[in-house]
Structures are given as C-alpha cells and as structure tokens.
Amino acid sequence: MAAPKFLKLDPTTGLHVEVAGVTTATADSIPSTDANGRLTLAQMPTGVGPELTQVLASESLVAGNWVNFHDVTGVTKARKADATNSSKPAHGFVIDGVTSGDLADVYVDGQNIAAAASGLVAGARQFLSTTPGATTATPPSTAANLVQCLGSAIDGTTVLFKPEGAIVVA
C-alpha cells in the first residue's frame, strides 16, 4: 500500500502540493506507519521504544524465536536459543524474522507476541525448549538440559519475557 499523502504549502509558489508520509525519520516530515500500522523505531524520540539491541544473525531466525547472543571472532551475533545444554540460554527474542547475516532486532524485555502460532495457556510458565528457538510449558528433564523459565503466557500466542535463573539438569 502506498504511503498516505498530505497537502503542503510550497512557500516558493504559494501552491498546495501532495507530499507522501515517510517511514524513516527526517526533519519536517509527516510520519507514515509501517506495514503493521506502527511507527518505526527510527521515528521515535531517543529513549522511547522497546528494550532491544540490533545484532547480526548467525543463522536465519523466524518471528518469535528465542535467541542467544554469542561471540564470533569479537562480533556479537544472535542464534536460536536451545535448552539441549547450557551453551545457548535465551537472552531475548525476535518479533520479525531475518536471514543469516542480516541485522536482527533482539528484544531483551517485553512481550514476545509471536512466541507461538497458538496453544499457549494464559498464566502458564514457559520454558526454553530443546527445539532451537522454541518455548515449551514442560521444563526439559534430560541430563545436561538447561531449565530456563522465560516468563509466562499472556494469551494463546504471547509470552511476557521475564527470565529466571537457569539450572542444568543433573
């Protein structure tokens, strides 16, 4: 869909001209929402917005994946968190999918609105799964698995990210 247009007075001609709204921050422009009907973070004042960091994805990530930060030759990258062992605890999540090598917006606080397609039970604690990037209502129980509570489900698809201390199953 094309960005909405507005009328602006051209000071040199005195005529009204059509101007499209923008989704990137520029001086003296009228903002337009993105495809999801939201203002982009670039349009928000400094200090306003979610707690997130941008990191390169070391593998493709899909919306809702829980991610782990890791170091690759001095560069912080994001990959799918995994409870199979203690090497990939969840540090945050992505709401939008990204391809390996692209910058990912990793949210380190807040609501993972894409945590599941459906099926979460409101109020149920959610744990990092042994399926990379996923959540489960059942804590992992195999020896060497990481048990990390990610928070609680708010509804059928959303988890409020409030991570607790993790333990390794003996």
- The full 3-state SS of 2-14, as one line of letters, equals CCCEEEEECCCCC
Lowest mean per-residue pLDDT among 33-37, 94-98, 107-111: 33-37
Range 131-134, long-range pairs (CB < 8 A, 24+ positions) = 131/82, 132/65, 132/80, 132/81, 132/82, 132/88, 133/61, 133/62, 133/64, 133/65, 133/66, 133/67, 133/80, 133/81, 133/82, 134/65, 134/66
Which of the four pLDDT bands, split at 50, 70 and 90, describes residue 20? confident
Q: In terms of C-beta density within 10 A (0-12 exposed, 13-18 middle, 19 or more buried), how is residue 166 classed?
A: middle
Q: Which residue would you say has higher pLDDT here, 48 or 54?
A: 54
**pLDDT value of position 98:** 97
pTM over 0.85? The answer is no
Burial 93-126 (b: 16+ CB within 10 A, else e): bbbeebeeeeebbbbbebbbebbbeeebeeeebb
Average pLDDT over residues 120-136: 96
Domain ranges of the chain: 1-43, 52-168
User: Is a pLDDT exceeding 80 seen at residue 120?
Assistant: yes
**pLDDT value of position 39:** 79
